[in-house]
Amino acid sequence: MSPREFEPAAPELMDRPDADPAELEAALRSLRGLNRYFGSYRIISRFIRRWMRRGDHLRIVDLATGSADIPRLIADQARRVGVDVEIVAVDYQPSTIESARRLSAGYPEIVCTRADVLSFGGTGEYDIVICSLALHHFSNEDAVRLLRRCRELSRRFVLVSDLRRGWLARAGVYLLTTLIYRDRMTREDGRASARRAFSFSELCDLTRQAGWEQFGAATFRFARQAVWIEPKEA
């Protein structure tokens, strides 16, 4: 397998402070489609179904939320099951958070907040901490910091999922950004993400470095992977 390609001085286009708002909006729309049809929603739903019980009251945070489509997915699921949720959706990009707020207007249980995910929140503030498709945006050192922060924020459950580096991710992203999701930002960022992603063994090593103990780890369809923490009784 080829080594990870990460250049801190060249962030993905959507992470840049001067990101064009129209291009960013198109990329966020594409990302919602990718999440829906290529694995992220399936992974999140699998764990959320396991962690929710009718009558629960849960505080949830989604770090690096993008346009908050995952918080809306969780809110819809909570409404169907009969669970009371408070969800904080966090992202650093101002235009991205504005988009998240606009799209989440019909969800009073979701609060969209602009903040640095590496320093956001207080210890044990949330029942469930989620971070999806964000880890590869960070250096190895900051990825460890983010994993550690996820663990610190949670008093019960943690789920971190991401793209998995390998030929399947590269080929799949190349085809999707050639045939379907063809806007410039999605094309360039998607292909960069496939190169920046961690392998499964690298993800597990970073998770151990972050001090996680007795965590679950697995690979999933469409070149996805995840690590998680849940109490034994769950």
Any idea what the CATH number is for the domain that residue 93 is in?
Answer: 3.40.50.150
Average pLDDT of the residues of the chain: 96
Contact 157, 228 (CB under 8 A): yes
Domains identified in the chain, total number: 1
136, part of any domain: yes
- Mean pLDDT for 30-52 is 96
Residue 163, classed as helix, strand or coil, is strand
pTM reported for the whole predicted model: 0.96
CA distance 66 to 156: 24
CA distance 56 to 86: 11
152, part of any domain: yes
Residue 233 has pLDDT above 90, yes or no: no
Of 21, 31, 65, the C-alpha closest to 190 is 31
Q: Could you report the per-residue pLDDT of 122-178, keeping only the tens digit for each?
A: 999 999 999 999 999 999 999 999 999 999 999 999 999 999 999 999 999 999 999
Sorting pLDDT into bands at 50, 70 and 90, what band is 1? Answer: confident
Contact 232, 218 (CB under 8 A): no
CA distance 10 to 190: 14
234, part of any domain: no
Within a 13 Å sphere around the CA of 185, how many CA atoms are in the beta-carbon half? 20
CA distance 19 to 37: 26
* Residue 99 confidence (pLDDT): 97
3, part of any domain: no
116, part of any domain: yes
Q: 27 lies in which domain range?
A: 13-163+199-229
Residue 94 has pLDDT above 80, yes or no: yes
Residue 194 has pLDDT above 80, yes or no: yes
Q: Could you report the per-residue pLDDT of 206-226, keeping only the tens digit for each?
A: 999 999 999 999 999 999 999
* Residue 234 confidence (pLDDT): 60
Sorting pLDDT into bands at 50, 70 and 90, what band is 232? Answer: confident
193, part of any domain: no
5, part of any domain: no
Residue 41 has pLDDT above 80, yes or no: yes
What is each CA distance from 112 to 25, 67, 147, in whole angstroms? 16, 9, 21
179, part of any domain: no
Residue 208, classed as helix, strand or coil, is helix
